[in-house]
Amino acid sequence: MGGVVKRAYKYRFYPSCEQAELLGRTFGCVRKVYNLALEARTRAWAVDRQRTTYVQSSAWLTEWKRTEELAFLNEVSSVPLQQTLRHLQAGFAAFWDKRARYPRFKSKRTSRASAEFTRSAFRWRDGQLTLAKMDTPLDIVWSRPLPEGAEPSTVTVSRDAAGRWFVSILVEDPAVKPLPPVDAEVGVDAGITSLLTLSRPVPGVSDEQGKVANPRYGQADRRKLAKAQRNLARKQEGSANRAKARLKVARIHARIANRRRDHLHKLTTRLVRENQTVVIEDLSVRTMLHNHRLARAISDAAWSQFRSMMEYKAAWYGRTVIPVDRWYPSSKTCSACGRINTALTLTVRTWTCPGCGVEHDRDINAAKNILAAGLAER
């Protein structure tokens, strides 16, 4: 890994009434410009078979600002509006490369409220951050320090469904660099009963068998969440009481997500630090969620989030993450002799190989096979 890593540090902040009002308008303008550009680019392709670019959409933005109907776009900083056009361009690039679906319109109710400011749209001075068109700096809760001498290159302001405000500051972090190589490798089998099963025990991460307990944060708060959702359903649409009830539901969801993310951060950091190579299954979580009996448990396990964390931390610290083909029969293959037990069903958790007589725990056997398959692909 060459060069200094850029890392985002996220903090809560408490805006003044004026700041909250300006940022709220900025979020609305960002969403409006994104949707206008998406509509215009879709029409250009449908009518003229013309593939437009960021440069053309930026020219459209200039024209939109001159109209009486969209003159309000001039009331906020132009940088977040340009940045949302760049994000749309990235979305189209991913679609053309068949890495993502066609970009979708942003909804006021469900889309993330955020705005991105580059260096020309904020002032960083003496540890205080002031955004464009604001007279006073943001009241940020510095829960952890930025790297010494850090100079932010990008600032992203967001508001979540629970009404909390966050600022994400992107800086170069010289402390993030490759770790000394270690002579350790591990295979990881994702599950529900156990969150993960490792091919070998890792002290402080798994039990003596190599299994990592599933904390099931969503299930722990399910009763509280269900009660809040029933309360929300009884409130009249558009009323102040409905807004309060919606906020309560959002706060429970935020608590679940925060606890889950914290657990995964600690888990992935330990695995990456203590293993040179980590082999995982290339699971299609989106397809698996179609199974309505397991969808809630799969979502609560957050396998996609686990993989994402593993991959970017491995890139930071000079480690390797190897995905294994999801169709590889890791559970049915004997890790001792290689024989495939085609008669094995999902309900069977332990089995004895008919070829060599070795007794297997289904998940531990799968983790060992995943490791062997990944190392063979190197």
Look up residue 88 and give its two tokens.
């749309």
Query: Are the C-beta atoms of residues 157 and 23 closer than 8 Å to each other?
Result: yes
Q: How many Cα atoms are found within 13 Å in the side-chain-facing hemisphere of 96?
A: 10
Q: Give the β-pairing of 277-281 and 320-324.
A: parallel
Look up residue 331 and give its two tokens.
């559970």
Instruction: Answer yes or no: 189 catalytic.
Output: yes
Instruction: Answer yes or no: 173 catalytic.
Output: no
Given the residues 116, 135, 189, 361, the one annotated as active site: 189
Phi first, then psi: what are they for 7, rounded to 5°?
-135, 140
Query: Are the C-beta atoms of residues 302 and 224 closer than 8 Å to each other?
Result: no
Kindly tell me the burial class for residue 230, based on how many C-beta atoms sit within 10 Å of its own C-beta (0-12, 13-18, 19 or more).
exposed
Amino acid at 374: G
Given the residues 48, 172, 281, 311, the one annotated as active site: 281
CA pseudo-torsion sign 170, 173, 178, 182: negative
SS3 124: strand
Q: What is the rounded CA–CA span in Å between residue 27 and residue 119? A: 19
Q: What is the rounded CA–CA span in Å between residue 257 and residue 24? A: 24
Query: Are the C-beta atoms of residues 89 and 97 closer than 8 Å to each other?
Result: no
Given the residues 135, 173, 363, 377, the one annotated as active site: 363
Instruction: Answer yes or no: 160 catalytic.
Output: no
Phi first, then psi: what are they for 41, rounded to 5°?
-70, -35
In angstroms, how far is CA 110 from the centroid of its own chain?
16
Q: Give the β-pairing of 113-118 and 154-159.
A: antiparallel
Show contacts of 31-36: CB within 8 Å, 24+ apart. Answer: 31/106, 31/108, 31/111, 31/113, 32/70, 32/73, 33/61, 33/64, 33/73, 33/81, 33/84, 33/85, 34/84, 34/85, 34/87, 34/88, 34/105, 34/106, 35/105, 35/106, 36/60, 36/64
Catalytic residues: 189, 281, 363
